[in-house]
Structure 1
Amino acid sequence: MKLKPTRVLDLVANVLVAALAAWIATRVAYDSFPPISIYAGTSLYPVAAIEVALAFVIRARVNDRQVGGDRHQLHPITAARAVALAKASLQVGSIAAGVWLGFLCWVLPQRGTLRAAAADSPGAIVGMFAGVALVAAALWLEYCCRAPDDPSDDPATT
């Protein structure tokens, strides 16, 4: 079975399902939620930064044909683990972005009438962008882990 790149449509579906679930939960139980600080959603930013750095390292090694079993090369298992990290991060990031989006869809219209909603909005916005940043970083990492195209088996024509 060949591992294929993540489809953007799957990520959009994650966002929409998570947003709907979060909107319903927020609508039903907002009064029992704790206050959302500006730092509530920031935990995904460092993960996104690490994935971007890892993507650049892997991309450089792949472009320089430095993938293999030698100790100075990028081991293929390391690249496979990076792909697994990217795939998992795509799921986490898209779901997190959806949850924060659903929360925002309920909170933003309530800002004028509820002081708590106005106070919770900045933290939710930071969290939503953290999810988007993780998705972007994971897509980049997944892209950088692609195997270079194999040379054609067809004989050269002259």
Structure 2
Amino acid sequence: MQQLRIRVLGGIFVVTGVLSWAAARLWNAYGTLPGVPVAAPVVLAVIAVVLAATALALRARLKAQRERVPGAKGVDPMVAARAVVFGQASALVASLVAGGYGGVGVFLLLDSLDAGMRRDQALYAGLSVLASVGVVAAAVFLERVCKLPEDDDDEPGAAPA
């Protein structure tokens, strides 16, 4: 499984942001721009909390397993793999969502914030971007928690045991 690359997530964010900003300009020129849902930052924050809680729980169980604490429950490798896949998928989607709401938010900030509704929409978009960053941070943390330790035997020039 490939490790998440922050540059790739940042690239997705920037490209999606530019495309959504252009789409918002075009949409506003020919009609009314659809609103940013109030639930968007809430749902993203809940996903970030779930990812962080999963990472903390797995980290505690792995630490207890490494230290051979009596009665400690081990971590099934498939559970850890599924958690990492969930985290990676969440990070990719959160990058897309952050770019989308970021582009709309920038459009709303540059267009005009005179109307109260536009100000609220820009606030919801900004909160969605922040919550998406939280999802990405929690997913990266989860991935780091579940990473296997490096194998010393794979070094070039190492003598076989």
The question of a shared fold, defined as TM-score above 0.5 by the shorter chain, is answered with yes
What residue in structure 2 maps to residue 96 of structure 1? 97
Instruction: Tell me the equivalent position of 1:72.
Output: 73
The 8 Å contact of residues 62 and 148 in structure 1, kept in 2 or not, is answered as no
**Aligned counterpart, 1:26:** 24
Do the aligned residues in 1 keep the contact of 2:61 with 2:73 (CA within 8 Å)?
Answer: no
Question: How far apart are residue 114 of structure 1 and its match?
Answer: 4.7
Question: Which 5+ residue runs of structure 1 have no aligned equivalent?
Answer: none
CA RMSD of aligned residues (A): 2.3
Query: Which amino acid in 2 is paired with 1:64?
Result: A
> Match for residue 46 of structure 2?
46
The 2-side partners of 1:59 and 1:140 are apart by 10
Q: Secondary structure at the match of 1:40?
A: helix
Q: Secondary structure at the match of 2:41?
A: coil
Query: 1:139 aligns to what?
Result: 140
2:5 to 7, 19, 24: 7
> Percent same amino acid at aligned positions?
28
How far residue 59 of structure 1 moved from its aligned partner, in angstroms, is 1.4
| Correspondences of 1:79-158 after superposition (within 5 Å) | 79-150=80-151, 152=153
Shift of 1:35: 3.4
Q: Secondary structure of the equivalent of 2:40?
A: coil
Check whether the contact 1:11–1:91 (CA below 8 A) recurs between aligned residues: yes
CA shift, 1:57, in A, is 1.2
Residue 55 of structure 1: aligned partner: 55
Q: Mean alpha-carbon deviation: is it higher for 49-58 or for 103-112?
A: 103-112
Structure with greater helix share of residues: 2
Partner Cα separation in structure 1 for residue 5 and residue 36 of structure 2: 32
Q: Which moved further from structure 2: 28-37 or 116-125?
A: 28-37
Task: Measure how far apart 1:62 and its partner are.
Answer: 2.2
CA contact (8 A) 2:94 2:136 kept: yes
Aligned residue pair count: 149
Gaps of 5+ in 2: 67-71
Q: Conserved in 2, the CA contact under 8 Å of 1:110 and 1:117?
A: no
